[in-house]
């Protein structure tokens, strides 16, 4: 009888552990909606009144580059390439507050 409860307890524990693991900013999938939101929280692109480029758009990526002081320095991959997100993510990690 005790082994039945132990097995049930372990199963519930594993399920809860899997459900409770949330990804922090450093673990988000790059070029995903959640990653764009993370970058936006670090590098606001709007005007403070709800106006700004759509997250993840080429215009948004350009504004992010500008705000980080990276535009026109030929340091980043093309904005349309997913490796752009990797470069921005590395830059933000290197300049963590």
**Total domain count, the chain:** 1
Asked if the structure places residue 7 within a domain, the reply is: no
59 part of a folded domain: yes
Above 70 in pLDDT, residue 1?
no
In a domain, 17, yes or no: no
Residue 14 lies in a domain: no
Instruction: Please check the confidence at residue 11 and state whether its pLDDT lies above 50.
Output: no
Residue 77 pLDDT more than 50? yes
Task: Judge whether 18 lies within some domain.
Answer: no
Segments forming the whole domain that contains residue 81: 24-94
Residue 54: per-residue pLDDT = 96
Per the structure block, which two tokens stand in for 55?
Answer: 């997250």
pLDDT tens-digit readout, 19-41: 434 444 456 799 999 999 999 99
In a domain, 65, yes or no: yes
Mean pLDDT over each residue of the chain, to the nearest integer: 81
The pTM of the full predicted model, rounded to 2 decimals, is 0.70
Residues 6+ apart with CB under 8 A from 85: 30, 31, 35
């Amino acid at each position: 009888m005790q082994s039945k409860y132990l097995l049930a307890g372990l199963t519930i524990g594993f399920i809860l552990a899997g459900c409770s693991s949330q990804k922090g900013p450093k673990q988000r999938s790059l070029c995903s909606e959640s990653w764009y939101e993370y970058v936006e929280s670090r590098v606001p692109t709007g005007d403070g009144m709800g106006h700004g480029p759509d997250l993840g758009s080429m215009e948004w990526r350009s504004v992010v580059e500008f705000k980080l002081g990276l535009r026109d320095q030929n340091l980043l991959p093309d904005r349309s390439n997913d490796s752009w997100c990797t470069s921005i993510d590395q830059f933000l990690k290197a300049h963590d507050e």
